[in-house]
Amino acid sequence: MTDPAARPLLFFDLDDTLVDHRSAEEAAQRETFERCSGLLAGLSFDEWLATYRARNRPLWDAYGRGEITRQVLQHRRFRDPLVALARDPARADEVGDFYLSRYREHWTLNDGAEEALEAASGLGFVGLLSNGFVEQQRGKIARFRLDRWARAVVLSEEVGAMKPDRRIFDAAVDAARLAGAGEGGRRVYVGDSYPHDVAGARAAGWEAILFNPSAIPAPGPVPEVRSLREVGRLLGEA
Ligand SMILES: [Mg+2]
């Protein structure tokens, strides 16, 4: 039997790696756009979605740096695009609540996600490591029964640090140890974001695999896969 201390830690990102967040976000935003046709009258859906995404990114970054609270993030992620489009910001929370209720209805796994987890669980200790709201992320794990493979779940809200902060990667090592994994083996993180996942993991002493289905040129050299079906093979190559 393999020495458990030498088994690698193989952790996966959730949003836009295992779970197709971007499509769920777009589908839920389309329903939100249709429901709020009066509030958003005269705009195209693409305009609304692009403004929402552009205004969201700096808010998540500020939240990651601890500059704003979750409550502020949750309010402003709809308030800011409404203000930018000269719409009534008093409707922000109502719009946000509707969006979140629809978002969870559109979750799907990315193609090959289960195969990647299955392959990884044959090679090492599997865990999940994710930013995002805790209920949403726990909801995704439960919906797709990702605990069939994952022995540890590390979420930024519970750790108090977001990727690329190394504290969340250190917390993953601690969680794996608590779950009975050793510390002697490789540590590999699979994610879709170069700055958050690849750079964060490497700064914490992990290896990284970039999930890059759109083949967007990465800012630096990194092992990458176009399909999650390729992850097992890459993990198997020590
Ligand atoms: Mg991601």
What spacing in Å lies between the alpha carbon of 14 and ligand 1's midpoint? 6
- pLDDT per position as a tens digit, 100-120: 999 999 999 999 999 999 999
Planar angle of CA 164, 179, 136, nearest 5 degrees: 50
Provide the mean pLDDT of the chain: 95
Backbone angles phi, psi at 184, to 5 degrees: -85, -15
The pLDDT of residue 4: 62
Residues of the chain with CATH 3.40.50.1000: 4-20+108-236
Q: Which fold has domain 4-20+108-236?
A: Rossmann fold (3.40.50)
The pLDDT of residue 6: 75
Q: Rounded to an integer, what distance in angstroms lies between the CA atom of residue 226 and that of residue 10? A: 18
The pLDDT of residue 57: 93
The pLDDT of residue 153: 98
What spacing in Å lies between the alpha carbon of 18 and ligand 1's midpoint? 8
What spacing in Å lies between the alpha carbon of 23 and ligand 1's midpoint? 13
Percent of the chain with pLDDT strictly greater than 70: 97
What is the number of other CB atoms lying within 10 angstroms of the CB of residue 21? Answer: 21
Across the range 15-38, mean pLDDT stands at: 98
The pLDDT of residue 184: 72
200: pLDDT strictly greater than 70: yes
Across the range 53-72, mean pLDDT stands at: 93
Q: Quote the tokens at residue 126.
A: 């599997």
For domain 22-106, the question of CATH label 1.10.3720.10 is answered with no
How much is the pTM?
0.94
What spacing in Å lies between the alpha carbon of 13 and ligand 1's midpoint? 6
The pLDDT of residue 91: 96
The pLDDT of residue 185: 85
Residues of the chain with CATH 1.10.150.240: 22-106
Across the range 194-214, mean pLDDT stands at: 98
More confident residue, 181 or 79: 79
List alpha helices for 65-91, DSSP H: 70-84
238: pLDDT strictly greater than 70: no
What spacing in Å lies between the alpha carbon of 87 and ligand 1's midpoint? 30
46: pLDDT strictly greater than 80: yes
What spacing in Å lies between the alpha carbon of 77 and ligand 1's midpoint? 18
